[in-house]
Structure 1
Amino acid sequence: MTQKHYSKWVILSAVVIGSIMGPIDGSVVNIAMPEFTKIFHTNITTVSWVSMTYLLVVSSLMMTFGRLGDMLGYKKLYQYGLLTFSISSAILSLSVNIYMLIIMRAFQAVGAAMLMSMSSAIITSVFPPNERGRALGINAMSISIGLAIGPTLGGLLLKYLGWRSIFYINVPIGIIGYIWAHIVVPDNKGVAEKFDPYGSISFFAFLASLLLFISEGGTWGWSSLTSIVALVTSIASLIIFINVENKVEFPMFDFSLLKIRSFTFGNISTLLNFMAQNTMTFLTPFLLQHLGFTTEKAGIIMTSFPLVMFVVAPLSGILADRYGAQILSTIGALISATAFFLMATLTEKSTMFAIMARLALFGIGNAIFQTPNNSAVMGSAPKNRLGVASAFLATMRNVGMVMGIAVGSAIFTNRLKVYQALKFSSNAAFMIAIKEAYITAGIFSLICAFTSLVRNNVKLIQGKD
């Protein structure tokens, strides 16, 4: 029986369901962290592994699932992702101790990795080049919605339904998403190539150990035995991975993609953009706390960033379809850099509006950068490599997130110690240290603007990439 063909916009709605689940779940779980320490009678360090495990597994497996998507079909992997995410969420709600919670978050991350690696591939495969930016913009808008409503939803669920509800609420959404994707997303046969297990394992080991080193090295001590082992494991695994990929007939990652200028510089730009973005989202709540804002007001202030992205991302996508990524992404990165430098001008007397205006400007810059950049990267990849291209882009995004938090927090804490040692007042030391971290993130954005500018301009007019 032949499958009915649905409108590409209907197909996009099925992708949006999967795209919004991860951001909501992630932000809801972050809100619940203090609750977990009380419920399971444990400490913050142990509870942090609830998020860290998820991030490590998601980041390290996306390339594997991207390759499997090219081989087995994007729809099939996407549905497996929805199913895995939903089942693991149901089991998470039954957790009896913190260790069960951490282990099941790893399984939930497997489902999230499938969803994240397939979403852009499905969109790129069904939308023509002159509409791809708009579609990716709407998908980006759904992610912004998830990030915006997650904290509020998490607070309400924790207050009225208890911590288990933050997990079992995923189950009906996942089931609906699975059924809807089964009905409307078209099948694609994939490519008849063999899977590369050694490349997959070595890449997983490389990225997992690298992210572990970056995120935990400051806690362990950069020269500690644990940190050195993680770094050496990462370097050795990368060498093995490159060696394996150059020998096998069907490698997990097609290195010829890196010869495509727009693909390479677009991914470098993504890495830099998310390094800057996560420096902002990680450090700003500490600034707000220092300035004396209540938790409720801090939540409102932080929401200004994703809400502006929600409005601007679709408009940015429409512009991307007409003008391409080179100019738009460069302008977006420069606006983001400007927002960082303006954040560095804040004082102890800065108003709520002054901070929100800067975060809103940052949201505008990110929205103008991300949608055209994503569209250009995906448009530059061959049709039979959309899964790997989508996964590589998502991997750069996640690595940038981890690096942003690590670099931002390292600069802030180290500079804070310096100024405290110089006998600065606690207020002055804090403000100068956080301003230097913002300036560093602004420099990341300036470099991002440069890498966006030197890419080939991918024309997205009249169906041309």
Structure 2
Amino acid sequence: MTTGTSPAQVTKNPWAALLALCVGFFMILVDMTIVAVAQPQIQAALHTDVNGIVWVTSAYLLTYAVPLLITGRLGDKFGPKKVYQLGLIVFTIASVWCGFSTTIGMLIAARALQGVGAALITPQTMALITRIFPPEKRGAAMGVWGTVAGVATLVGPLLGGILTDSFGWEWIFFVNLPVGIVGLVLAHMLVPDVETHDHQFDWLGVVLSAVGLSALVFGIQDGEKYDWNGWIWALIGVGLILLGLFIFWQSRIKREPLVPLSLFRDRNFSLSNIGIASMGFAMSGIMIPAMFFLQLVGGMSPTRSALVMVPMAVLTGILAPIVGRVLDKVHPRLILAPSLLLMAISVAWLGVIAQPETPVWQLIIPMSLMGVASAGIWAPLAATATRNLPWQQAGAGAGVYNTTRMIGSVLGSAAVGALMQTRLAAELPGMASQEQGSHVEQLPEFVRDGFATAMGQTLFLPAVALLFGVVATLFLVKPAHQAGPAAPVPAADATADGQVHTV
């Protein structure tokens, strides 16, 4: 393993490097929100049902989640800058393929490739922040990271609405081409090359986790489509067993595991993973029913439905850097637990008032509160999770943390998709399996009440999921840099097996 260097030795201008990294992160987030706004139009254009359109999201999230277990290590082995640039190339090519898709199957396949590109990009951003910023400045750096998330949440829906209304849904993917090119140039110029250290890769672990999670997601999401037959429950059971075997294998493997269980000895890392899983579950679960409600019940165009989300994005973007600076000085649970609780209340509130007769201004209130809550969740959770980790485990920690977030997201997408189909079957029999016509139109008045009720009831599931994050973050402890002077301890080092040893 190569010798260590301090963040100050890596680059003299970490903020410029952070700016370049945020381009790729921005593109991923914009793409997710753009697709959410255009889902009704994609469903109509490709003549698919609700389950098909949910798979457009789930396929992306699934292939995003599984490779994260190794892409963080790939950054450690080959250099996070190189892996980040590779991810930009894959994501950009896949985006162009998405735009040229003519069938729902082709689009799902292209979205799956996009997920692989996103998996290559994401852990490198967090790992490099950990490598180039000292602990006392990471909260501020993560605040910028959170601001980018807020701006992307604003730009994505608006850009998606404008492009879909003006040129067609295909252009929500074509727009990634110039962004990807700019991101590659900036990364080449501004992102430093940092030291690397060798890794072994646990391919059995990759197979167990990939097959297990895929079986679980397919079983949950397609359960309603196949009337929850016995083989669906068997598939879910197999998925759970394989994931259990994966965890057991990680505890027994002698060489370097995919998930170094030693990471979870850090209390804040463990609890932050629960928090981010609940937030990932909620966010992927909110967008589909919300957009279908606004467009099919409210009769809004994609642009108008995106404008409803603007206050949420603006508030997140304004508050995130402020929260980042405060986080460096206060106990993390004072920010995280109230923010997650506010998010849960806001989502449940939106579910209650999601009715055809509800005026738009009433819908904006809970969405705005979601923006306030988000500013106190995304960056603070990421900073709290990684702050106490030694830099040698930055790649592994970022990979595990982002994997947890994406597993929460893919399970949220699948579970909410299944619940949507179940509630539509109950409120409007046959609606879930019905294909859209070639144009998106407001639903006839006699079915709006039932459809709105189904969408509102679906939103209660992500609200409940957030409560798990609330409970977890109540047990966070002060990070090391806030704990005051401590007795000297031996320096930590990470060996090839991913475990932390003292030297």
TM-score (norm 1): 0.86
Please report how far the alpha carbon of residue 6 of structure 1 lies from its aligned counterpart in structure 2 after TM superposition.
4.3
- The reply on whether 1:8 has 2:29 as its aligned counterpart is no
SS at 1:172's partner residue?
A: helix
Aligned to 1:111: 117
- The reply on whether 1:59 has 2:45 as its aligned counterpart is no
Aligned to 1:80: 86
Aligned to 1:360: 368
TM-score (norm 2): 0.80
Identify if the C-alpha distance between structure 1 residues 48 and 366 changes in structure 2 by more than 3 Å, giving closer, same or farther: closer
- The reply on whether 1:254 has 2:275 as its aligned counterpart is no
Equivalent residues, number: 460
Give yes or no for contact 1:202–1:241 (8 Å, CA) kept in 2.
no
Q: How does 1:12-411 map to 2 (within 5 A)?
A: 12-36=18-42, 45-46=51-52, 48-95=54-101, 98-236=104-242, 238-240=244-246, 242-243=248-249, 246-288=252-294, 292=298, 294-295=300-301, 296-343=303-350, 346=353, 348=355, 349-408=357-416
Aligned to 1:450: 471
Please report how far the alpha carbon of residue 374 of structure 1 lies from its aligned counterpart in structure 2 after TM superposition.
1.1
Name the CA distance, whole Å, in 2 between partners of 1:280 and 1:124: 30
Name the CA distance, whole Å, in 2 between partners of 1:352 and 1:107: 37
Which structure dedicates a bigger proportion of its chain to helix? 1
Identify if the C-alpha distance between structure 1 residues 172 and 235 changes in structure 2 by more than 3 Å, giving closer, same or farther: same
Q: Deviations over 1:86-140 (max 9, x none)?
A: 2333444454655444333322221111111221111121112222122112212
Identify if the C-alpha distance between structure 1 residues 292 and 323 changes in structure 2 by more than 3 Å, giving closer, same or farther: same
Give yes or no for contact 2:250–2:261 (8 Å, CA) kept in 1.
no
Please report how far the alpha carbon of residue 56 of structure 1 lies from its aligned counterpart in structure 2 after TM superposition.
1.4
Give yes or no for contact 1:50–1:101 (8 Å, CA) kept in 2.
yes
User: Structure 1 unaligned runs (5+)?
Assistant: none
Range 81-90 or range 251-260, more displaced? 81-90
Please report how far the alpha carbon of residue 340 of structure 1 lies from its aligned counterpart in structure 2 after TM superposition.
3.7
Range 454-463 or range 204-213, more displaced? 454-463
Identify if the C-alpha distance between structure 1 residues 434 and 35 changes in structure 2 by more than 3 Å, giving closer, same or farther: closer
Give the letter aligned to residue 326 of structure 2.
L
Please report how far the alpha carbon of residue 276 of structure 1 lies from its aligned counterpart in structure 2 after TM superposition.
3.1
Name the CA distance, whole Å, in 1 between partners of 2:366 and 2:389: 35
SS at 2:67's partner residue?
A: helix
Give yes or no for contact 2:51–2:222 (8 Å, CA) kept in 1.
no
Please report how far the alpha carbon of residue 341 of structure 1 lies from its aligned counterpart in structure 2 after TM superposition.
4.8
Give yes or no for contact 2:354–2:455 (8 Å, CA) kept in 1.
no
Give the letter aligned to residue 69 of structure 2.
M
Identify if the C-alpha distance between structure 1 residues 42 and 316 changes in structure 2 by more than 3 Å, giving closer, same or farther: same
Give the letter aligned to residue 470 of structure 2.
A
Alignment root-mean-square deviation, CA: 3.3
Identify if the C-alpha distance between structure 1 residues 86 and 276 changes in structure 2 by more than 3 Å, giving closer, same or farther: closer
Q: Deviations over 1:22-74 (max 9, x none)?
A: 12223333444455556556666545544332221111111111122222222
Identify if the C-alpha distance between structure 1 residues 107 and 442 changes in structure 2 by more than 3 Å, giving closer, same or farther: closer
Range 309-318 or range 226-235, more displaced? 226-235
Identify if the C-alpha distance between structure 1 residues 98 and 341 changes in structure 2 by more than 3 Å, giving closer, same or farther: closer
Identify if the C-alpha distance between structure 1 residues 24 and 464 changes in structure 2 by more than 3 Å, giving closer, same or farther: farther
Give yes or no for contact 1:205–1:234 (8 Å, CA) kept in 2.
no
Name the CA distance, whole Å, in 1 between partners of 2:337 and 2:205: 34
Name the CA distance, whole Å, in 2 between partners of 1:56 and 1:392: 15
User: Structure 2 unaligned runs (5+)?
Assistant: 1-8, 430-445, 487-503
Identify if the C-alpha distance between structure 1 residues 457 and 431 changes in structure 2 by more than 3 Å, giving closer, same or farther: farther
SS at 1:322's partner residue?
A: coil
Range 455-464 or range 371-380, more displaced? 455-464
Give yes or no for contact 1:130–1:462 (8 Å, CA) kept in 2.
no
Give yes or no for contact 1:305–1:359 (8 Å, CA) kept in 2.
yes
Aligned to 2:4: none
Name the CA distance, whole Å, in 1 between partners of 2:169 and 2:346: 36
Please report how far the alpha carbon of residue 430 of structure 1 lies from its aligned counterpart in structure 2 after TM superposition.
6.6
SS at 1:218's partner residue?
A: coil
Please report how far the alpha carbon of residue 13 of structure 1 lies from its aligned counterpart in structure 2 after TM superposition.
0.5
Give yes or no for contact 1:82–1:115 (8 Å, CA) kept in 2.
yes
Give yes or no for contact 1:267–1:396 (8 Å, CA) kept in 2.
yes
Please report how far the alpha carbon of residue 149 of structure 1 lies from its aligned counterpart in structure 2 after TM superposition.
1.9
Percent of paired sites with the same residue: 27
Identify if the C-alpha distance between structure 1 residues 367 and 216 changes in structure 2 by more than 3 Å, giving closer, same or farther: farther
